[in-house]
Every structure is written in structure tokens, then in C-alpha cells.
């Protein structure tokens, strides 16, 4: 009876064996699986906190809209309060987003360097510098993005639309409830004061600075920050057909 050839192939395996399933240490896999589940639970908790601040901002905005448009004598500068509260909530949400992003980075590292090798059944990818980086982050946790980038990401995702709605409502309130009929830009500028002792230049300055910063930050972050997901080209999306 002929014996199977045992000469090695290019892959270092005997010629009679075409594939050898890799072996994973059970203790390592169990520990990393529980670690992955724990980190996943953390980012879900922080993700729910992001939704909470967004809901607060929407609730405050809808309340201000109701008061502003249902009561004619309420001055349009009530939207100052609206913008101030939304900015405060945006700052809180940006801080929460930095915590969410820090734990999300750990989860993405585990998915790329632990889950993917498990799916591929290739333990060569289980080794590498990522384990040292993960341990360093566990010893000394640190944020992965700046405050400005976190602020820009939340603006790009949610708050820029909220600010646009507030600006539209503000202008509508001025036209509907102005002391005199607005016929030109001069009348509109004078109506910015609202007839309540607020200089028009203060209103125009605050609104202009606020919304110019919102627009600049949103477009800057959209161009410079990769965000949480990347767009694949058509050649990559075709691979995901079911």
C-alpha cells in the first residue's frame, strides 16, 4: 500500500494535507469574549446617554416654539434662551461622546484583531502590537478625539439640523409678530430689537456668530474627520450582496 507523501509544500504543510484548522487557546478565547461583551455593554450605555441629551434639546426647542408662536407678546429674543440651552446640551453631549468613542475604539480593535481572526480561523492575526496598545489603554485610559472634534461630530449628526430649525423659527417669529410691517432690510434690522430695549446689533451679532460657527465646524469636521464609518466604493459594496 503506497504511503502518502510527506514532502512539505510552500505553506510548510505536508503535501498530503491541504489545510489544517488553526487552534485557539480556550482560556484566551473565553476571557476575550467576556471582555468584548463587557466593552460592548459600555458603549451601549454611553450611546443611550447621547440619545438622552439629544431628546432634551428637542424637548426644550419644541417647548420654546410652542410658547413663542402661541403668545404674540412673547419677544422673539426667547430664542436666545433656546440657543443657549441647546449649546449647553451640545457641550454635555460632546463630552459624553468622547467617553463613548474611547470605549468604541476598544470594541473596534477587538473586532478587527480578535473577532475577525476567529471568523477567518487564522490565529496568526491574533498576535501583534494591538495587544500592547489595548493593555496600555486599560492601564491608562485616554480619549481618542479632541473636544472640538467631538463637538463637530455631534453637530454633523444631529445638532446642525436643530440649529437650522431654530433659525428658521426665529425669522418666522420676527415676520409674524413684528411691531411694524416689514417691507425691507432696514425694517427687518429694526425688528431684531423686538421693541423690548434690546439693540438690534446685539441680536444680529449673536445670531451671526453662532450660526457661522455651526456651519464652519460642521463642514470642517465633515471633511477632516473620518467619523465612525467609511464609505466603500461600488466594487466593495458588491461583495455584500445576499
CB 52 within 8 A of CB 16: no
- Please report where in the chains the cell 412673547 appears, as a residue: 74
CB 56 within 8 A of CB 96: no
pLDDT digit string (tens) for 52-76?
999 999 999 999 999 999 888 888 8
pLDDT digit string (tens) for 77-120?
888 889 999 999 999 999 999 999 999 988 988 888 888 888 87
CA dihedral 221, 224, 225, 231 (to 10 degrees): 110
pLDDT digit string (tens) for 136-168?
888 998 898 899 999 999 998 889 999 999 999
CA dihedral 59, 61, 65, 68 (to 10 degrees): 120
Q: pTM for this structure?
A: 0.76
The domains of the chain are located at 26-228
Amino acid at each position: 500500500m503506497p504511503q502518502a507523501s510527506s514532502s512539505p509544500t510552500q505553506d510548510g504543510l505536508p503535501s498530503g494535507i491541504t489545510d489544517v484548522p488553526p487552534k485557539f487557546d480556550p482560556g484566551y478565547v473565553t476571557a476575550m469574549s467576556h471582555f468584548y461583551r463587557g466593552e460592548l455593554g459600555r458603549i451601549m450605555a454611553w450611546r443611550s446617554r447621547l440619545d438622552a441629551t439629544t431628546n432634551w434639546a428637542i424637548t426644550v426647542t419644541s417647548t420654546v416654539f410652542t410658547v413663542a408662536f402661541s403668545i404674540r407678546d412673547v419677544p422673539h429674543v426667547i430664542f436666545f434662551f433656546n440657543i443657549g440651552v441647546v449649546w449647553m446640551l451640545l457641550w454635555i453631549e460632546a463630552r459624553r461622546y468622547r467617553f463613548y468613542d474611547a470605549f468604541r475604539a476598544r470594541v473596534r480593535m477587538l473586532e478587527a484583531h480578535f473577532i475577525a481572526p476567529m471568523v477567518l480561523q487564522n490565529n496568526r492575526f491574533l498576535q501583534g502590537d494591538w495587544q500592547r496598545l489595548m493593555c496600555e489603554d486599560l492601564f491608562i485610559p485616554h480619549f481618542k478625539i479632541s473636544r472640538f472634534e467631538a463637538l463637530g461630530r455631534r453637530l454633523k449628526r444631529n445638532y446642525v439640523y436643530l440649529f437650522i430649525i431654530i433659525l428658521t423659527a426665529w425669522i418666522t417669529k420676527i415676520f409674524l409678530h413684528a411691531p411694524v410691517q416689514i417691507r425691507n432690510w432696514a425694517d427687518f434690522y429694526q425688528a431684531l430689537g423686538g421693541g423690548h430695549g434690546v439693540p438690534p446689533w446685539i441680536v444680529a451679532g449673536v445670531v451671526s456668530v453662532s450660526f457661522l460657527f455651526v456651519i464652519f465646524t460642521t463642514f470642517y469636521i465633515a471633511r477632516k474627520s473620518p467619523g465612525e464609518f467609511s464609505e466603500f466604493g461600488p466594487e466593495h459594496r458588491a461583495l455584500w450582496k445576499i
